[in-house]
Amino acid sequence: MLRWRGVLRAQYAGGMGYEWLSHALAALGGIEPHEVMQALHGTRRLPVPATAESGARLLGIWSRTAAGKPLIVFLRHDGGLDWLIVGAREMKPDELATFEGWEARG
């Protein structure tokens, strides 16, 4: 990855750019960077609007890793087709139930 403006460039998927905010990698807490990328590139992704504690508008991508771990990856739009990865965490039990219901309908 290359460092640019405090951002770590990640891979592009079909024209969609994902970049890491530098502090986001340090704050993953038990989630590996490759798991985040697997979730973002998963075939079943549920986009859910989210708001950061600061009030910033984010997009939460609810998805699973290749091993099936349910994650929410938080993104901030950076213009065009580029998105900044600002964080990720495992789903809480109520979120997982909602996500599994969505998966079952689909």
Residue pLDDT, tens place only, 25-83: 778 888 999 999 999 999 999 999 999 889 999 999 999 999 999 999 999 998 888 88
**Distance, CA of 61 to CA of 33 (rounded, Å):** 15
pTM: 0.83
What's the pLDDT band for 10 if we cut at 50, 70, 90? low
More confident residue, 47 or 106: 47
Question: What's the start-to-end Cα distance of the chain, in Å?
Answer: 35
Indicate if the pLDDT at residue 1 is higher than 80: no
Residues 77-100 have a mean pLDDT of: 93
Domain encompassing residue 57: 3-105
Task: Specify the number of domains making up the chain.
Answer: 1
